Amino acid sequence: MLTPSTLENLIEALRCLPGVGPKSAQRMAYHLLQRDRQGAQRLVDTLQEALQTLKHCQRCNTFTEAEICDRCLSPKRDPSLLCVVETAVDLNMMEQTQAYSGLYYVLMGRMSPLDGIGPRELLLDSLLTRVSDGVVREVILATNFTNEGEITAHYVSEMLKSRGLRVSRIARGVPVGGELEYVDSGTLAQAMRERKSLLD
Ligand SMILES: [Zn+2]
């Protein structure tokens, strides 16, 4: 039998989704229970499967079922180019532009001193290892044009100074304060093509 606390737990659990407040969570819970129990079961099953099988690629950190993702292993990608993005969503956005054929490194976040997220919380040590493989020639910083994204780009470019790499930043076709996730493909493609060198 469904006790009130079970329902409350469900509503509370749904609030972990971005942008979902108490009211939407309640609507979702009732919708799943009343109108779409099959959908709810599918959600449970696929979520569980995803949690069990998806892990981070050992080279680029994006989600994959293998140790190293297909993209990192693809002979069609240019391994001398490494594009640094904040999230796996940003990686997908960049891929959709079809303007880039190099590899990626996903930081899984951005520096945010106010929230206590510094270099150590991001995967910057392994980025340093990643770019030191002797194959990477250019690191393209494609973090967001928000304060945090700019701080992150600045930090990484300083970190890569005097390592004999070209370091560039995607161009400002992306508006100030802009997050890659919300920029259209054409603008993002142009920003990639017109990227500016940072350390010359
Ligand atoms: Zn990968």
- Nearest in space to 86 (alpha carbons), one of 132, 117, 55, 53: 117
pTM for this predicted structure: 0.79
* Partners of residue 158 on adjacent β-strands: none
> 104 C-alpha to center of ligand 1: Å?
7
Is 193 part of a structural domain of the chain? Answer: no
> 78 C-alpha to center of ligand 1: Å?
13
Number of domain units in the chain = 1
Per-residue pLDDT at 2: 55
Is 184 part of a structural domain of the chain? Answer: no
> 69 C-alpha to center of ligand 1: Å?
4
pLDDT at residue 28 tops 90: yes
Domain coverage including residue 132:
78-169
Indicate which CATH number applies to the domain containing 161. 3.40.1360.10
What are the tens digits of pLDDT across the range 115-157?
888 888 888 888 999 999 999 999 999 999 888 999 999 999 9
3-state secondary structure (DSSP) of residue 13: helix
What are the residues whose beta carbon lies below 5 Å from ligand 1 (ion)? 57, 59-60, 69, 72
Is 38 part of a structural domain of the chain? Answer: no
Is 157 part of a structural domain of the chain? Answer: yes
> 59 C-alpha to center of ligand 1: Å?
5
Is 10 part of a structural domain of the chain? Answer: no
Is 13 part of a structural domain of the chain? Answer: no
